[in-house]
């Protein structure tokens, strides 16, 4: 048997995969249990999944994922409580049935919906979920203030973040609470995220960690830029996690291969090797690394940013270990 990734990384950090209920059975479940000791529900904890209609909660998928993790001694990352995507329209609809405008009444209503949502979702899982991505993708580095103009922001300003973190802390006092974002290696975005986390923590808002999604490709970003990303947050005294890593085999949106070329898979293996070597050097800061998928047969990159077959993970369509796996397991 080839080595288990979780065993190889045992001296550094837990290793996770984003999954759905479809990965809880058969060969996928076996692969998951063998190599990983953490999971993230890829969609099952998002607002559109858990509260599609006001007051009507659906927890079947999330329950199945969390119970699987508990039964197999795996950690769970809760993803995500507040986001500008996969949030039902009712959340931002006013009592007259119209899209909310920025009034004090609508702000109070939206914050009360947010609080009720977090109490229900976080409260259901208690200590079974140790980490929450309380808010996802709130930075827009093209804004002078760095804050994404989401419906949340337009209606509440920064109060949606203050409420979300405060309520999550109250309901799950031992959970670690994260702000999670993509492209955090890009200096302008990284610095805006840093400023927001510093401001919130100075106010006493309980932001414990910064999540770096790390949706990268075979030649971007460089290891040194990635190191600067990690280094930036060290003085803040926050935890850091790699939350959604995958390494696209494509260099731009125009490329498309029916099957992954061998040279791309080799380059990808070196990228996994080099980035994991960096993560190991920062193991005192990084408390978990999660890949956004289990194997190449199920990856969101097949439909983002364009539709084409990608191969961004450690295991192939037949669930066999790729060169990328060996880049982590046997970095020599
Ligand atoms: C993706 C899921 O993997 C897809 O199944 C879904 O259709 C869209 O969302 N950043 C995030 C994740 O924070 O929640 C996204 O997950 C991928 C990008």
* ipTM for the complex shown: 0.99
pLDDT tens-digit map of 71-95? 999 999 999 999 999 999 999 999 9
Atom of ligand 1 nearest to the CA of 83: 13
Regarding the beta carbon of 293 and ligand 1, being less than 6 Å apart is answered: no
CB of 20 sitting under 6 A from ligand 1: no
Token code pair at residue 104 = 């004090």
Residues noted as catalytic: 137, 244
Nearest CA among 77, 285, 294, 48 for reference residue 180: 77
Adjacent-strand bridge partners of 242: 212, 289
Q: Is the CB of 185 under 6 A from ligand 1?
A: no
Give the mutation target among 18, 42, 45, 85 for probing the ligand 1 site: most ligand atoms within 8 A of CB: 42
Give per-residue pLDDT as tens, 154-189.
999 999 999 999 999 999 999 999 999 999 999 999
- Whether residue 42 has its Cβ less than 6 Å from ligand 1: yes
Nearest CA to ligand 1 atom 15: 42
pLDDT reported for residue 69:
98
Q: Where are the domains of the chain?
A: 5-329
Mean pLDDT confidence for 249-254: 98
- Hey, which of 178, 248, 292, 310 would you mutate to test ligand 1's pocket, going by the most ligand atoms within 8 Å of its Cβ? 292
Q: Give residue-wise pLDDT tens across range 181-209.
A: 999 999 999 999 999 999 999 999 999 99
Q: Find the mean pLDDT for residues 216-229.
A: 98
pLDDT for the residue numbered 160: 99
Q: Check pocket membership of 93 for ligand 1, CB cut-off 6 A.
A: no
Note the helical H segments in the chain. 5-8, 26-35, 47-50, 60-71, 104-125, 151-156, 159-171, 187-203, 223-233, 262-281, 323-329
Residue 27 pLDDT = 98
Tokens of 268: 């990808």
One-character DSSP codes across 71-116? HTT-EEEEEEEE-SSS--GGGGB-TTSSBPPS-HHHHHHHHHHHHH
Q: How far is the CA of 37 from the centre of ligand 1 (A)?
A: 21
For tokens 């999660």, name the residue: 290
The residue contributing the CA closest to ligand 1 atom 4 is 300
Q: Which fold has domain 5-329?
A: TIM Barrel (3.20.20)
Q: Is 43 in the pocket of ligand 1 (CB under 6 A)?
A: yes
How high is the mean pLDDT of the chain? 98
Tell me how far the alpha carbon of residue 172 lies from the centroid of ligand 1, in angstroms.
24
CA distance 65 to 40: 9
Give the C-alpha separation, 321 to 314, whole Å.
6
- Ligand 1 atom nearest residue 215's Cα: 18
Percent of the chain residues topping a pLDDT of 70: 100
In the chain, the N- to C-terminal Cα span, in Å, equals: 19
Residue 89 to residue 76: CA distance in whole angstroms: 28
pLDDT tens for 27-73 read 999 999 999 999 999 999 999 999 999 999 999 999 999 999 999 99
pLDDT of 254: 97
Q: Is the CB of residue 136 below 6 angstroms from any atom belonging to ligand 1? A: yes
Q: What is the arithmetic mean of pLDDT over 220-228?
A: 98
CA 311 to centroid of ligand 1, rounded, Å: 16
């Amino acid at each position: 048997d080839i080595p288990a990734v979780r065993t190889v990384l045992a001296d550094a950090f837990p290793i996770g995969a984003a999954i759905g209920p479809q990965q809880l059975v058969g060969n996928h479940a076996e692969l998951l249990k063998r190599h990983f000791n953490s999971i993230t529900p890829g969609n099952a904890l998002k607002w559109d999944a858990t509260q599609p209609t006001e007051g009507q909660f659906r927890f079947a998928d999330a329950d199945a994922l969390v119970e699987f993790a508990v039964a197999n001694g795996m950690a769970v990352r809760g993803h995500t409580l507040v986001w500008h995507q996969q949030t039902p329209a009712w959340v931002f609809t006013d009592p007259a049935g119209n899209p909310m405008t920025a009034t004090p009444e609508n702000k109070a209503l939206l914050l009360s919906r947010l609080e009720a949502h977090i109490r229900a979702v976080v409260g259901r899982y208690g200590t079974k979920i140790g980490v929450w991505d309380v808010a996802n993708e709130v930075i827009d580095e093209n804004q002078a203030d760095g804050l994404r103009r989401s419906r949340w922001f337009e209606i509440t300003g920064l109060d949606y973040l203050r409420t979300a973190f405060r309520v999550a802390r109250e309901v799950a006092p031992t959970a670690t609470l994260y702000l999670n974002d993509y492209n955090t290696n890009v200096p302008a975005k990284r610095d805006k995220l840093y400023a927001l986390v510093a401001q919130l923590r100075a106010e006493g808002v309980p932001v414990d960690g910064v999540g770096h999604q790390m949706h990268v490709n075979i030649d971007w970003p460089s290891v040194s830029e990635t190191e600067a990303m990690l280094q930036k947050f060290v003085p803040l005294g926050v935890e850091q996690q790699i939350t959604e890593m995958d390494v696209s085999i494509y260099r731009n949106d125009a490329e498309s291969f029916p099957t992954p070329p061998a040279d791309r898979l080799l380059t990808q293996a070196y990228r996994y090797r080099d980035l994991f070597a960096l993560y190991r050097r920062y193991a005192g800061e990084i408390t978990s690394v999660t890949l956004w998928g289990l194997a190449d047969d199920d990856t969101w990159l097949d439909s983002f940013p364009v539709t084409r077959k990608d191969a961004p993970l450690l295991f192939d369509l037949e669930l066999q270990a790729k060169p990328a796996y060996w880049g982590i397991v046997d970095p020599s």
